[in-house]
Structure 1
């Protein structure tokens, strides 16, 4: 039986953050207090391509702290891509933990279709 699921991503898992960074060939995330333009945040700092300041993943609150000055200091598409790949990596990790196999398919509109086969059958 087939089921369609929509996922609202909350970035809470440092392992999946690191996995998303690896997949996107970003620098390894670093935990600590990070200075943004006029504030600071503590969490996992992810440096996106051509962003002046990192995005800080505050995992205990499932929030992102960043300052891209309305897109002038960083393309929002880079953040969208990071969140998308984080969701793919996290969903895949959770499915595999439960013994399921996962097939990933990029779609023309830029989205990614994940097919989770319960019991590991491909």
Structure 2
């Protein structure tokens, strides 16, 4: 039996976010403080999204701070790509804890199907 699930992703686990960055080949720095152009700052996992003018920061409580100036300073689709990679890595980590094998399929529309074999 198949179950289709749509998931809203909150980036709360630093190690999972790091796994997502590695998956995507993106640079990151742990426990860093970033000052943004408006004078505000954030401390946490700093992620350098390709082609974004400024990095994003994932704080300890899972807040994502960054500015792409409504798409002028970076494509918002890339942040969604990070969320997708995070979701995949979170699901894989959960299944590893339950020793369930996971098969990953990249779909033509850019979505990913994870099939868990019990």
Q: 1:4: Cα distance to partner?
A: 2.3
Structure 1 consecutive aligned stretches of length 4 or more whose deviation exceeds 2 Å: 1-6
Q: Once superposed, what is the RMSD of the aligned Cα atoms? A: 1.3
Alignment partners' CA distance in 2, 1:90 and 1:29:
20
State the aligned residue count: 117
Distance 1:114 1:11 in 2: 19
Question: By how many angstroms is 1:99 displaced?
Answer: 1.0
Structure 1: distance between partners of 2:11 and 2:60: 6
After TM superposition, give the deviation of residue 10 of structure 1 in Å. 1.0
Residue 5 of structure 1, CA deviation: 2.2
Give the distance between the partners of 1:108 and 1:83, measured in 2 at CA. Answer: 18
For structure 2, list consecutive stretches of 5 or more residues without a partner in the other structure: none
Q: Which residue is equivalent to 1:21?
A: 21
Normalization by structure 2: what TM-score? 0.91
- TM-score, normalised to structure 1, is 0.88
